[in-house]
Structure 1
Amino acid sequence: MPIYELLDKHFLETAAYKGSVYGLSYRTRVDEDNCVALMPNGRLCLSLDKDSFQVLGVEGKPSRFNHRTNSRYVVSVDLTHSSMAPGGRGYVRLLTGLRSRLHLKTDFLLSHHPGGGASLQALLSRYDWSEHRPEIRSRVLTQLSCPALLTSDLQSSDPHSFLEWLGAVDADASRENSSSSFLSSLVCPEPSTTLNQALSVSVCGLLLPQDIHRLIQEIRRHLEHHLESWASLTVHGFVDSPVSWGDSEHGVMRGGENFYSLLMFHDHTYHLHQATGAHDTCPP
């Protein structure tokens, strides 16, 4: 889909201005390709290579993650600003650049608030599209070595060790640290205990904050009836999204991590872990 379609007057009025739509360019790599994100606050973010930025001809700034030379640029536009109203100077300049000069096209992931699908129909009717539901996978873990001091006492365990253990469990990596293993030297933090049974569930898709909040509420209700239990919810941002925490630019160097993890207990206390790549802006 051409990026200028996101500036369509009907789309702006029915979707972007109402904050009901999230969009992300699909199968684009933030370190090599032109990437686009449409955020619910009406901000359009373009992460562009140098040639594309110069052809577009609108204001932007060099990427924070350029190495030695300015090879990437970021264009961030507030579509709700008065200068970006259809017909305004900023709007016409951006629309002309995207329609007549740059001709930037990409596949998109689009997600909307419940009931907001009608606002996308006019746009989608002009292109090939398909509806997807989050992909859900689950597995039962038996005889799982687990840190023994998982309580709401914030001083009871090392958060970094727990987060590393949790990632190893999710990745199904060996945590035995055997001398014959060249892949993993991880061990379960001490003191440890063994869980007879645990459940690991993975949900993959472009999930909205409302989806995450609803899932947290369900987990909290479950924990109220299982006083000895705990649950951890980890939410990963897209590795190649042009934006990360707090609308900040997402780094183009190294891993691309940006996630948070909630460790929840039955008394409604929780630990919050926030993480990002080594070159990214720290979470708020």
Structure 2
Amino acid sequence: MSSRTFLHCETSSMLQPNDRLRANLEQQPFNYKATVLLPDCGCLPSQLDTPLKSFQSFYLVRKLPLYELLDKQGTDLLAYVPNISTTRMHALGGVCGLSYKTRIEEDNCAFLKPDGHLCLSLDKDSYERLGIEGKACKPKSTRYVVVVDLSDSGMAPGGCGYRRLLSGLTSRLPLKMDFLLAAHSGGGDALELLLSRYERSQHTPEVSSRLLTDLTRPAPLTSDLRSYDPFGFLEWLGAVQADISCADITDGFLSSLECPRASGVSSPSSFLLSVRGLLLPENVMTLVRQLRHILEGPRPPPWAAVTVYAFADNLYVHERNFYTLLLFPDHAYSLHLARPAS
């Protein structure tokens, strides 16, 4: 993968009727970590307890045959999605998951998106054995991507596309993978049917937090991108999240890295929250909604920063690595998207 990254920044307001924040967040479906930084905040706001506890459990399923996502029980994973008869399923319905500890550049990988698309990243030999049309990752590449819309009418049990894919995954290319799976609202019962047949372990997102004292934060910071340097802000935020001191300390070396420094307001106390696990876009939106309530309350923090990190080895890191969302008390926000160079 490329080592260069492009940063795309945009601003909007959640009061806009055509606001696309939710649609933007859904484009990064597989997340392993989210952090929240609240400046001028001495403790974890109690309003965050409920949304954090509402995050769904996820499962690590050992040696899951991919055809299980297509047989009668597997098809039931999609039955809880509204408007299943349409060509596109409702976003955030059903189940999503991704193969675990597979390397996107070397191994066969699979991803089940929340919208019902099954995506396979395959080497050339596996792609040819599967016999389903896909496309090369890059010109002259030896890796191929196959994307199947499981909500398409041809993918209904007994349909032509269904039979062809099922045959490919049972006879020509019987792939088995360790898989991380999570159910969206309404899909838990169907997921249990699948889990009952395989070795699995249940997990809940891990929550940790720490209090930051004497943190010098950027100021002024507004939704106007001209009021600050987005690159500098993200470097500073990354140093804060990694617990790296930004003090100006010289060590005598002729050349050394310099930590980003924020010249602005000193916060006596700030709060940093971290959540790790298989996090879905709906989990992030739950956090965002609750942070909006906190920013609307008495003596709110000047802003809240939410950073969400994608799993490194998944098909969508070619679209983005992570994003940072800056929320402001007036319902405005700035969204910073990091995308690898093509």
Whether these two folds match at TM > 0.5 is yes
Change in Cα spacing, 1:14 to 1:227, as seen in structure 2 (3 Å) is closer
Which runs of 5 or more residues in structure 2 are unaligned?
1-63, 82-92
The alpha carbon displacement at 1:178 in A equals 2.9
Which string of whole-angstrom CA distances, capped at 9 and with x for unpartnered residues, describes residues 137-166 of structure 1? 111111112112123443211112111111
Change in Cα spacing, 1:78 to 1:179, as seen in structure 2 (3 Å) is same
* Higher RCO by CA contacts (8 Å cutoff, separation 6 or greater): 2
Corresponding letter in the other structure for 1:50: K
Corresponding letter in the other structure for 1:99: T
2:271 is matched with: 199
Corresponding letter in the other structure for 2:290: E
Which string of whole-angstrom CA distances, capped at 9 and with x for unpartnered residues, describes residues 202-227 of structure 1? 11111222211111121111122224
2:339 is matched with: 276
**Selected match of 1:8 from 61, 71, 88:** 71
1:45 is matched with: 119
Between the aligned partners of 2:281 and 2:141, the Cα distance in structure 1 is 34
User: Helix, strand or coil for the counterpart of 2:78?
Assistant: helix
Corresponding letter in the other structure for 1:213: M
1:63 aligns with 2:137: yes
Between the aligned partners of 1:82 and 1:114, the Cα distance in structure 2 is 23
Between the aligned partners of 1:37 and 1:177, the Cα distance in structure 2 is 44
Between the aligned partners of 1:74 and 1:14, the Cα distance in structure 2 is 23
User: Helix, strand or coil for the counterpart of 2:132?
Assistant: coil
**Selected match of 2:211 from 140, 144, 157:** 140
Between the aligned partners of 1:122 and 1:148, the Cα distance in structure 2 is 52
1:27 aligns with 2:101: yes
1:282 is matched with: none
**Selected match of 2:311 from 218, 238, 245:** 238
User: Helix, strand or coil for the counterpart of 2:147?
Assistant: strand
TM-score by length of 1: 0.86
Corresponding letter in the other structure for 2:128: Q
Corresponding letter in the other structure for 1:198: S
Between the aligned partners of 1:231 and 1:237, the Cα distance in structure 2 is 20
**Selected match of 2:259 from 178, 181, 186:** 186
Between the aligned partners of 1:56 and 1:16, the Cα distance in structure 2 is 26
User: Helix, strand or coil for the counterpart of 2:106?
Assistant: coil
The alpha carbon displacement at 1:16 in A equals 6.0
Which string of whole-angstrom CA distances, capped at 9 and with x for unpartnered residues, describes residues 18-42 of structure 1? 2311111111111111111111221
1:99 aligns with 2:170: yes
The alpha carbon displacement at 1:237 in A equals 1.6
Query: Is the CA contact (8 Å cut-off) linking 1:168 and 1:174 kept in structure 2?
Result: yes
Between the aligned partners of 1:183 and 1:2, the Cα distance in structure 2 is 50
1:83 aligns with 2:83: no
Change in Cα spacing, 1:60 to 1:131, as seen in structure 2 (3 Å) is same
Query: Is the CA contact (8 Å cut-off) linking 1:232 and 1:262 kept in structure 2?
Result: yes
User: Helix, strand or coil for the counterpart of 1:106?
Assistant: strand
Which structure features the higher share of strand residues? 2
Which string of whole-angstrom CA distances, capped at 9 and with x for unpartnered residues, describes residues 76-122 of structure 1? 11111122222222211111111112121111111112342101122
Between the aligned partners of 1:16 and 1:104, the Cα distance in structure 2 is 24
1:160 aligns with 2:223: no
Question: For structure 1, which segment, 81-90 or 170-179, has the greater mean C-alpha deviation from structure 2 after superposition?
Answer: 170-179
Between the aligned partners of 1:49 and 1:29, the Cα distance in structure 2 is 12
Corresponding letter in the other structure for 1:200: L
Between the aligned partners of 2:186 and 2:256, the Cα distance in structure 1 is 47
TM-score by length of 2: 0.72
* Percent of aligned positions that are identical: 52
